[in-house]
Amino acid sequence: MPYPELHPPVRTLLGPGPSDTHPRVLQALAKGTVGHLDPYYLEVMNGLQEMLRGLFRTKNPMTMAISGTGSAGMEATVVNLIEPGDSMVVCVNGVFGGRMADVAERAGAKVIKVERPWGEVFTPADLAAALAQKPKVVGIVMAETSTGAWQPIEEISRAAHEAGALLLVDAVTALGGVPVEVDAWQIDAIYSGTQKCLSCPPGLSPVSFSPRAMEVVLGRKTKVQSWYLDVSMLANYWGQNRVYHHTGPINMTYALYEALRLVHEEGLENSWARHRANHLALRAGLAALGIRYATDESCTLPQLNAVLVPEGVDDAAVRSALLNRFGIEIGAGLGAYKGKVWRIGLMGYGSRPANVLLFLAALEQLLAEQGFKFTPGSSIAAANRKYSQKS
């Protein structure tokens, strides 16, 4: 009996990732494959690196795309900077700070965890005692996907560098949706993912290493524990020499190249403004239903909305009905937020008014079926009022 042909269901991806892929990116994926050292592919790599530097707002020569998802970027940055016995401060206020700490421990680091409650962010004062121990690296998540919290970076960077540490930043959900200023904030190593605000399938992880970070990488006393992620070797492939290291994912590189073209065509500031406008409309619509955010308004990400499941509403039933009846995916709560939070992503190509209004209309129907009290149509009206405002 032959295996069935692929017929994926049509979904509107409004969860924590992946986000909807732009049609132009899907078209790029289908273009003809060439060799990973073909002159054409090397030109594509050059253009991709140049566009990534623009997106990260950096001049770092060692800016590239790791062959793997965002977690591979996390591992690449950590294992290249950390040697066994090095101390590393990791800020944990959600799942992905915890994951960074785990990766660092596996690399042999003496991890100093600084913790805040889920949904909150860090100040330099929170890190003071840990920084007094003179760590080699400070790691922090800029956009915590599990909580929707938006971490300010500039003051943390200043405090880390005053303590003599390198700063490592997780920008998986941040890049393209909110300002990321690698050079201005003096970030030493940063990683992201393709499947969030870049409207690209998962599979590559944009990273950037500062010259200071590269001095540390190239001056190591021990080999990087991962051959595949060793930046001292990857530098020869992504640098001017283009020396073979591994077979790059050619068609995924095409996809990211096209995704970056889209961001640059729109303009970074326009992309940030679009994500914010759709967030504000969604927020207004949810407020009209009496649904509150899990994070304080002062630190809420526009592209990842973590909201509290209303009392008396069946969390799983709503998410299941959204998926099966309306084709809309949203995310469940993780860890401390399990069963308590919905995570609604408005990322990249998915961040548009049609999706906000579709989601609110579907949510109203499902809440009404569960007996939740609200004024019918109120969320749609509130979102439309917000869209009609000039600010």
Contacts for 164 with CB less than 8 Å, ≥ 6 apart: 134
pLDDT digits (tens, 9 = 90+) for 339-381: 999 999 999 999 999 999 999 999 999 999 999 999 999 999 9
**Which DSSP string do the residues of 305-324 spell out, in sequence order?**
EEEEPPTT--HHHHHHHHHH
CA dihedral of residues 357, 362, 366, 369 (deg, nearest 10)? 100
Cβ neighbours, 10 Å, residue 3: 5
CA dist 9 and 331 (Å) reads: 18
Q: How large is the angle between the packed helices 211-218 and 231-238, nearest 10 degrees?
A: 120
Contact in structure between 313 and 290 (CB atoms under 8 Å): no
pLDDT for 390 equals: 65
Would you kindly state where each structural domain of the chain is located, as residue ranges?
A: 23-265, 267-388
- Return d(Cα 63, Cα 231) in angstroms, integer: 11
pLDDT reported for residue 49: 97
- Average pLDDT in the 178-193 region? 98
**One CATH from 3.30.1490.100, 3.40.50.1370, 3.40.640.10, 3.40.50.300 for 23-265:** 3.40.640.10
CB 282 within 8 A of CB 356: yes
CA distance 368 to 365: 5
Nearest to 96, CA basis, from 82, 110, 75: 75
Residue of 256, 360, 254 lying closest to 12 (CA atoms)? 360
* CATH 3.90.1150.10 at 267-388, yes or no: yes
Q: What's residue 318's pLDDT? A: 98
pLDDT in tens, 207-247: 999 999 999 999 999 999 999 999 999 988 898 888 889 99
**pLDDT, tens only, 40-70:** 999 999 999 999 999 999 999 999 999 999 9
Structural tokens at position 50:
């140049």
Q: For 269-300, what is each residue's pLDDT tens digit?
A: 999 999 999 999 999 999 999 999 999 999 99
1 pLDDT more than 80:
no
CA neighbor of 28 nearest in space, from 203, 254, 204: 254
* Per-residue model confidence as pLDDT tens digits over 67-102: 999 999 999 999 999 999 999 999 999 999 999 999
Residues 391, 79: Cα–Cα separation, whole Å: 44
- Examine the pLDDT at 322 and tell me if it is beyond 60: yes
CA angle 335, 111, 171 (to 5 degrees): 60
The 10s digit of each residue's pLDDT in 115-156 is 999 999 999 999 999 999 999 999 999 999 999 999 999 999
Per residue in 364-388, is it b (16+ CB within 10 Å) or e — as a string?
bebbeeeebeeeeebbbebbbebee
Q: In percent, how much of the chain has pLDDT > 90?
A: 96
Q: Provide, rounded to the nearest whole percent, the portion of the chain with pLDDT above 70.
A: 99
From residue 174, give the alpha-carbon distance in Å to each of 144, 247, 275, 296, 365: 9, 28, 11, 18, 32
- What average pLDDT does this structure show over 254-259? 98
Q: Quick one: three-class SS letters along 206-266? A: EEEECHHHHHHHHCCCCCCCCCCCCHHHHHHHHCCCCCCCCCCCHHHHHHHHHHHHHHHHH
